[in-house]
Amino acid sequence: MFDFDALSQAIARQTVLCVGDLMLDEFVYGEVSRISPEAPAPVIAVQRSEINIGGAGNVARNVAALGARCIFVGLIGDDAAGKALAAELAKERLIEPVLVRDSSRPTTRKVRFVSEHFSTHMLRADWETATAASGEIERQLLDAILPQLARADIVLLSDYAKGVLTTGVIGGVIAAARQLGKRVIVDPKNANFAIYRGATLLTPNRKEFSEATRSEANSEAEIAGAAHDAIRIADCDAMLVTQSEHGMTLVTRDGDSIHVPALPVKVRDVSGAGDTVAAVLAVVLAAGADWEAAMRMASAAAAVAVSKNGTAVVTPAELRRKILPHAFLAAEEKIVSTPEQLEDQLANWRKQGLRVGFTNGCFDILHPGHVKVLTAARGACDRLIVGLNSDASVQRLKGEGRPVQNERARAEVLAALEAVDLVVIFDEDTPLELITRIEPSVLVKGGDYTREQVVGHEIVAANGGEVLLVDVLPGFSTTLLVARAREGQT
């Protein structure tokens, strides 16, 4: 359960210490229309090119794009690519680069040749030395990293297996971070998870997890089973396995398992999607969110990242649009007028594997107490349906003179809120029939109810859902507001 705006504000107060393999990403865009007369090779007619801060540097860029500060420690060579990276990092207002130079190795550089029209990669050329950093460079890296730990709210190790995160660097950073009570997130590359021992969270993709655990990892159950041994080996609190279009699964040391589906998106380029996930997890967890909220934010951010070309970052505005997509619809588009419309929307959401929430009320005069409940309800699900009592229903429940506003006006005000994805007007005294039809994963009411008083709690529980009670704001009541207004008129 989370409030997107409050979480965004908290993120802006966080500092992430990111350590990892820095690289220069170059993208050359063009089209192939002929074969070279010199050799049987395609000729790309270059139309444009761009450079980006890649590898662990892209993690840092994503941290900064989300509004948090990032202290970034990386390794470069004494070459043009290293100078280009230093110059690009210097332009980033929220990134504080701490770069160690190693003249014995080149700066990692990757050049991708991409079809401008089809957004497909045709060729990649790499310049790199993937061996572990020397003992002297390892000492310089630790000397650069350890003094920064006290300033950080969370530590993120981004391992691309290019030599920065040696066993000594990993062990030294994790031990020092734990001593200071700092959590450590690792995006691992080494199949021996034991070298990351003591980290808080490991975030391998399915292929990396499968290789490290020697399991198929084709289902949530297989991942959960293999993760327990992996958690024990790594002595970590949790393991998050990302699975591209199949979403992501988190398993904790206590055995709890959470799965978040991937959001539907047209994939343009998967470059750097893992960087985005790691960055979002770091800033959201640092800001105080729980595992599920962090996963939902990361899943939404990944969907944004892969819809872009190149090594992309995600902004808070883009993240909001992905998490709260219906907030950008006109209010009337979110009001359901027929059962068929509701069924069609539910079918679409279920097909996407989205978690549907439900709350209800008269909402005669919308006040801050209502907004708190609606915001909390939306934070607990992917899509929120609000059941709204019809005029006839309100009159039966509240008596003569109510509602103050007719059902259409009340529906439009509710639909204008970004926390609300759908408004359904019902004519019965209770929403029981509507809840039976929707079968929500989470049912939300104000804390002035007990669980047993919430209409439909049995239906939700029988379907494996949960009932969430939100503390109400004292002093806010539609009945009191109406009474005060009427007193003022007399």
The pLDDT assigned to 490 comes to 44
> What is residue 53's three-state secondary structure?
strand
Residue located via tokens 């890296």:
141
State the CATH architecture for 325-489: 3-Layer(aba) Sandwich (3.40)
What Cα–Cα distance (Å) separates residue 299 from each residue in 89, 147, 240, 282? 26, 33, 12, 13
Type and span of the H or E element at 96: strand 95-101
The pLDDT assigned to 487 comes to 63
Question: Choosing from 25, 153, 159, 275, which is the catalytic residue?
Answer: 275
Q: Which numeric CATH code is attached to 4-25+52-108+130-323?
A: 3.40.1190.20
Decide if 143 is catalytic. Answer: no
Q: Where are the domains of the chain?
A: 4-25+52-108+130-323, 325-489
The pLDDT assigned to 104 comes to 95
Q: Which residue positions in the chain have pLDDT lower than 50?
A: 490
**pLDDT tens across 296-349, in order?**
999 999 999 888 876 778 998 888 878 876 655 667 778 987 888 899 889 888
**pLDDT tens across 230-261, in order?**
999 999 999 999 998 888 999 999 878 999 88
The pLDDT assigned to 326 comes to 60
Chain-centroid distance of CA 416 in Å reads 24
The pLDDT assigned to 426 comes to 94
Cis before 40? omega within 30: no
Residue located via tokens 């010199």:
38
The pLDDT assigned to 333 comes to 79
